[in-house]
Amino acid sequence: MSGTTYHVPASGLGAGATSTVEAAKARTRLVAIDALRGLVMLFMLVDHVRETFFLHLQVTDPVDANTTDPGLFFTRLLSTFCAPTFVALTGLSAWLYGQSHTKAEVSEFLLKRGLFLLFLELTVVGFAWPTQPLIFPPPNFWLQVIWAIGVSMVALAALIHLPRIAQFAVGLAIVCLHNLLDPIQLTPESPWYNIWAMIHQRAVIDIGGGMIAKTTYPVLPWIGVILLGYACGPWFAKGSDPARRIRRLVIVGAALIVGFVAIRYLNFYGDKPWFDAGTPLRTTMSFLSLTKYPPSLLFLMPTVGTGCLLLALFEKYENSRVMPALALFGGAPMFFYIVHLYVLKGIYNIALHLYGPTKGTVFGVDNLATVWLWVAILIPVLYFPTRWFAQLKQRRRDIWWLKYL
């Protein structure tokens, strides 16, 4: 979602003329990465349409396998791939940006971009949710995925100066061991409550004046994910062997998924235990019901693993007809993110005005099929403005602020 600019200009590909082979490899890499980001953005669209029309049926975290409708469960499951993919690709994109910039320039860009994302989360994005009133200051601040990516980028601005082996070590330590901190649950009376709520405990912070901040995305695990994404950057270096890269992605992706199944089956670490729910379907739902806020080890293993497999698949089949369309969505992620939120806010408020609150105090629909119908309508509607902006970014590299969107 961050969309860090990592497109390498021709002048940065080497002294003198660049070979056709190297240029083709660079294009393949960019299409695959943008296509993967574009795909998970469509998954995100599904989840946000669900949230807009199913405000009356909020799911718990982790999702309750005993009571949640299976259709709603698996629709919600799609969105679990979004944030891990966004954050990991942000780290990878930062490394690719460094192919044509100094480490100091990359660090400065990450710091500025991270702070810019924090500003967007608290302003433009914060007002975009369907029920948020357009008043300033707003009564609620939701510290969500843009917040998490912004803080992670600020942290990465410092962490990129570590040796690569240390980057892997710190990233793995955070991702694998942060669940040991789960028992630490502070109360508002603690002087460390606000900081801990932002780092590792999903909570509500009383800002004062009737305003609150909800730390939906505690940031510690996401810092580990972005750091690992950055540390894997050399796999995508200019002139690297695509076959070797694809092989590595497949091995890592498969290992993460197999490791998830093994650890989850043993039920001893990494998330809340799964249970026999009485039927094979609901037992499977329990097995796949994982904690996202903050993301547990077992949440991150299959989502990042699937992302690795998809990235390998997209690079292998980069000439597929669908890749350019997906890459366009992934080439202007922040633009797409903001536009789709305000489109959904507009649709929701128009429906609320026309039909009134159909589900308690909110407007809602009865059938999950309505959610998927709206997704099918919105994909082509959002495609054309997103394509326009993505092409503008490519065409007008002289407009410096475009890279922040």
d(CA 14, CA 287): 49
d(CA 181, CA 397): 44
Give residue for tokens 């924090």.
Answer: 118
DSSP secondary structure code for residue 217 in this structure: S
Specify whether the CB–CB gap between 84 and 295 falls below 8 A: yes
So what's the pLDDT on residue 29?
55
10-residue stretch averages of pLDDT, the chain, 405 residues long:
39 34 49 95 97 92 95 96 97 95 96 96 92 81 95 98 98 98 97 97 92 95 98 94 96 98 97 96 98 97 98 93 91 94 96 95 95 97 93 84 75
d(CA 175, CA 154): 18
Specify whether the CB–CB gap between 54 and 364 falls below 8 A: yes
Q: How many CB atoms lie within 10 A of CB 234?
A: 11
Specify whether the CB–CB gap between 104 and 117 falls below 8 A: no
d(CA 274, CA 272): 7
Q: What is the DSSP string of 24-70?
A: HHHHHHHHHHHHHHHHHHHHHHHHHHHHHH-TTSPPPSS--TTTS-H
d(CA 347, CA 343): 6
Predicted TM-score of the model (pTM): 0.91
